[in-house]
């Protein structure tokens, strides 16, 4: 969903590498041309300029747990699952007027956990950029130390989602008072509870229709909304696993090889046949597919890299 820009306005992110196409492997059983309902998102890999600074900020402000911290790479998440992998590149410049990440969304398992995230932000005096009620989910927006956009989100019960999935008109302001009632009388917690996952990724691209031709027609996401300047797609009826917009301008250039922001984002599918079916569609459509383990990576037309694996 769009991330507001004015500080504290209660309304309502940045790929790499292109590989060589490898030999096609067809699925052994018939598979639908749309992505399966069991799709989930894995970790988002980010390039940051100072790993120690970023790890400290993500621990302090967001309460993430450190699952790995080497000289140049750190994995962060809840106690069992990484939602972020940080890669240090001290020479990486900040993103300019080009494709890349607009924001990524950390999805909390409950409204109370989003409220606890808000408590941490208040206690640590971490600035936010805005907050919104999108009717399908509630969200708080802020940047990390390198300016990479983050959305902290909690879904409303699916039965309460409007038919238009919140894409008609503007989102409502987030009702902080109501949100904080869910943790009334409780002390802030330093670390996230288990159940934190990657909810969605939102990208800057150069053309919405071309983005739909890639992510809808080749990858197999279902189109949920096309607002002209942005589109939102998902699997299994979700409000969106991916958004992409032209808010940096139509025809913006691809992501440079070295820049602060996203290196790749991960999609996990239930079976090897599901992975093979997506790979076949992409290869037949002329995309550059690079095998990696049981899955593959593929850049979109602007160099935003998606990795597809078996869950």
Kindly report the CATH number assigned to the domain that includes residue 224: 3.10.180.10
- Identify the residue whose tokens are 């159940």: 195
34 assigned to some structural domain:
no
Task: Name the burial class of residue 32, with classes exposed (0-12), middle (13-18) and buried (19+) by CB atoms within 10 angstroms of its CB.
Answer: exposed
Judged against a pLDDT cut of 60, whether residue 3 lies above it is answered with no
Tell me what pLDDT residue 23 has. 33
Q: CA 209, 163, 110, 145: dihedral to nearest 10 degrees? A: 30
Over 90: is that where the pLDDT of 19 sits? no
pLDDT given at position 169: 86
* Contact assessment for residue 235 and residue 39, using Cβ atoms and an 8 Å cutoff: yes
**Is residue 244, in this structure, part of any structural domain at all?**
yes
Gap between the Cα atoms of 223 and 296, Å rounded: 23
Q: How many domains does the chain have?
A: 1
Q: Report d(CA 184, CA 95) in Å as an integer.
A: 40
* Residue 3, domain member (yes or no): no
- Whether residue 125 is contained in a domain is answered as yes
85 has pLDDT over 60: yes
Considering the domain boundaries, does residue 148 fall inside one? Answer: yes
Provide the pLDDT for residue 33: 87
CA gap 307, 304 in Å, rounded: 10
pLDDT at residue number 257: 87
Tell whether 4 is covered by a domain: no
CB atoms within 10 A of CB 187: 9
Q: Which residues contact 153 (CB under 8 A, 6 or more apart)?
A: 105, 106, 107, 108, 114, 137, 138, 139, 140, 199
How confident is the model at residue 206, as a pLDDT? 98
Percent of the chain with pLDDT over 70: 90
Report yes or no on 220 lying in a domain: yes
- What is the pLDDT, as a whole number, of residue 22? 33
290 is a domain residue: yes
pLDDT of residue 6: 31
Q: Does position 238 have pLDDT exceeding 50, yes or no?
A: yes
Indicate the average pLDDT of the chain.
Answer: 91
Domain range enclosing 260: 40-310
């Amino acid at each position: 969903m769009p991330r507001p820009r004015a500080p504290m306005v209660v309304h309502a992110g940045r790929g790499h590498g292109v590989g060589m196409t490898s030999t096609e492997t067809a699925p052994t059983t018939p598979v639908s041309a749309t992505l399966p309902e069991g799709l989930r998102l894995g970790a988002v890999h980010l390039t940051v300029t100072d790993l120690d600074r970023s790890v400290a900020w993500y621990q302090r402000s967001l309460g993430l747990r450190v699952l790995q911290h080497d000289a140049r790479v750190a994995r962060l998440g809840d106690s069992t699952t990484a939602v972020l992998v940080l890669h240090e590149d001290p020479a990486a410049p900040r993103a300019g007027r080009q494709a890349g990440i607009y924001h990524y969304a950390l999805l909390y398992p409950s409204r109370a956990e989003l409220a606890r995230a808000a408590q941490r932000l208040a206690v640590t005096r971490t600035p936010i950029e805005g907050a919104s009620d999108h009717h399908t989910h509630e969200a708080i927006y802020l940047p990390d130390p390198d300016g990479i956009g983050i959305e902290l989100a909690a879904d409303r019960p699916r039965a309460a989602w409007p038919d238009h999935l919140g894409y008609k008109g503007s989102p409502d302001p987030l009702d902080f008072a109501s949100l904080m009632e869910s943790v009334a009388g409780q002390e802030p917690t330093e670390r996230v509870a288990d159940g934190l996952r990657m909810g969605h990724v939102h990208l800057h691209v150069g053309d919405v229709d071309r983005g739909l031709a890639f992510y809808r027609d080749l990858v197999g996401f279902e189109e949920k909304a096309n607002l002209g300047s942005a589109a939102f797609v998902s699997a299994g009826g979700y409000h969106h696993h991916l958004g992409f917009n032209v808010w940096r301008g139509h025809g913006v250039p691809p992501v440079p090889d070295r820049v602060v922001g996203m290196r790749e984002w991960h999609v996990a599918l239930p079976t090897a046949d599901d992975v093979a079916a997506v790979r076949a569609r992409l290869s037949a459509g002329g995309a550059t597919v690079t095998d990696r383990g049981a899955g593959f990576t593929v850049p979109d037309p602007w160099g935003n890299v998606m990795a597809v694996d078996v869950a």
